[in-house]
């Protein structure tokens, strides 16, 4: 509405009020969601290009809303972040991911998305240590996926926190690489184990030479810095072939599998029975 100069102030103001109202209602809704276990984790397999085997899964949150049905994180994670409830939601996601990970074969890693506010949360480290111990999961199997936005604020604190997490034995991945305001100096300062090539580049591999060049250069950079590389959003055989040829380590995307409740992946993954 902001950019429409023709609208009257009155309309603008009521739109703002509507938006504030909508936000408050999402926040209240989210509190209830966490209380009533309306949240659910979906798992998306990640495949090794060398062996073709599934070597890990990323967990992606979903909201089974009582009236609105199944909602993806795109429409609520930002609200959760703005209202601060992301900390509770994120701690829930970590505990849930590690609890369900008991069903995965022991060689598989588990990637969990972590939002900027969560990195600052005082409870992050203890939640992770406890959940790993409770579920008997080797810390080296847990990969935290963070985006560049995490690195931009409070850099010293973030660096300390990431090093603290590394000391427990976790892995850190830089998610959505190339989409933010990335500065290459971040790659030198922060202890990343993995770069994830954003799906916006992968999407264009089939028809855009520049995207192929950027993808290839990203991989070269990752290798030079001793990081693993995962491509997300792989949908076509052609993308898979290109990414395999250039030596990308792992692939993730609808071509392999959509994100699913873990139980629904049992035809792909040898799952232990529910504990
Ligand atoms: P992301 O971490 O970049 O996750 C990848 C997104 O791409 C997911 O969307 C996934 O479902 C989708 N995707 C996977 N394969 C394909 C493909 O082949 N084609 C296309 N078009 N899309 C594909 P989703 O599940 O809607 O999640 C959106 C974002 O929400 C995630 O982006 C992540 O930033 C955030 N998110 C999800 N779960 C959590 C969570 O537990 N905590 C936090 N803080 N953020 C989360
Ligand atoms: Ca991610
Ligand atoms: Ca991503
Ligand atoms: Ca992405």
**Per-residue confidence in pLDDT tens, the chain, 275 aa:** 444 444 555 555 677 777 777 777 888 889 899 888 899 999 999 999 999 999 999 999 999 999 999 999 998 999 899 888 999 999 999 999 999 999 999 999 999 999 999 999 999 999 999 999 999 999 999 999 999 888 888 889 999 999 999 999 999 999 999 887 767 888 888 999 999 999 999 999 999 999 999 999 999 999 999 999 999 999 999 999 999 999 999 999 999 999 999 999 999 999 999 88
Indicate if ligand 1 lies below 6 Å from the C-beta of 176.
yes
- Locate the ligand 1 atom nearest the alpha carbon of residue 60 and give its number: 38
State the DSSP H helix or E strand holding residue 70, giving kind and residue range, or none if neither. Answer: strand 69-71
User: Would you say 58 and 46 are in contact if contact means Cβ atoms under 8 Å apart?
Assistant: yes
Residues with Cβ within 8 Å of 275's Cβ and at least 6 positions away in sequence, in order, are 102, 103
Q: For the range 252-259, what are the long-range contacts, defined as Cβ-Cβ under 8 Å and sequence gap of 24 or more?
A: 252/44, 252/45, 252/46, 252/47, 252/58, 253/199, 253/202, 256/45, 256/46, 256/47, 256/54, 257/44, 257/45, 258/44, 259/42, 259/43, 259/44, 259/58, 259/60
Beta bridge partner(s), residue 177: 197
Looking at the CA of 252, name the nearest ligand. 1
Does ligand 1 have an atom closer than 6 angstroms to the CB of 178? Answer: no
Testing ligand 1's pocket by substitution, the residue of 39, 58, 60 carrying the most ligand atoms inside 8 A of its CB is: 60
Beta bridge partners of 142: 110
Residue nearest to atom 42 of ligand 1 (CA): 113
Q: 28 forms bridges with which residues in the sheet?
A: none
Helix or strand (DSSP H, E) at 220 = helix 209-224
ipTM above 0.95, yes or no: yes
Q: Is the CB of 259 under 6 A from ligand 1?
A: yes
What is the number of the ligand 1 atom nearest to the C-alpha of 145?
2
């Amino acid at each position: 509405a902001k950019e429409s100069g023709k609208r009257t102030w009155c309309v603008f103001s009521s739109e703002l009020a509507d938006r504030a109202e909508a936000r408050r209602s999402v926040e209240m809704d989210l509190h209830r969601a966490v209380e009533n276990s309306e949240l659910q984790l979906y798992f998306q397999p990640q495949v090794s290009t060398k062996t073709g085997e599934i070597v890990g899964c990323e967990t992606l949150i979903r909201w089974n809303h009582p009236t609105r049905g199944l909602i993806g994180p795109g429409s609520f994670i930002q609200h959760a972040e703005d209202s601060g409830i992301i900390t509770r939601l994120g701690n829930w996601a970590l505990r849930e991911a590690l609890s369900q990970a008991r069903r995965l074969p022991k060689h598989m890693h588990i990637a969990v998305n972590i939002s900027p506010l969560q990195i600052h949360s005082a409870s992050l480290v203890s939640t992770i240590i406890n959940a790993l111990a409770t579920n008997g999961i080797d810390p080296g199997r847990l990969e935290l996926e963070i985006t560049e936005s995490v690195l931009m604020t409070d850099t010293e604190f973030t660096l300390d926190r990431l090093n603290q997490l590394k000391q427990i034995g976790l892995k850190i991945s830089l998610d959505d690489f190339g989409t933010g305001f990335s500065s290459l100096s971040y790659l030198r300062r922060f202890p990343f184990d993995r770069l994830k090539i954003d799906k916006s580049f992968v999407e264009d591999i089939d028809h855009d030479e520049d995207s192929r060049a950027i993808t290839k250069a990203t991989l070269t950079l990752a290798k030079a810095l001793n990081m693993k590389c995962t491509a997300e959003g792989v949908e076509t055989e052609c993308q898979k072939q290109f990414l395999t040829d250039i030596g990308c380590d792992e692939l993730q995307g609808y071509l392999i599998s959509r994100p699913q409740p873990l139980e629904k992946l049992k035809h792909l993954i040898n799952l232990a029975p529910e504990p």
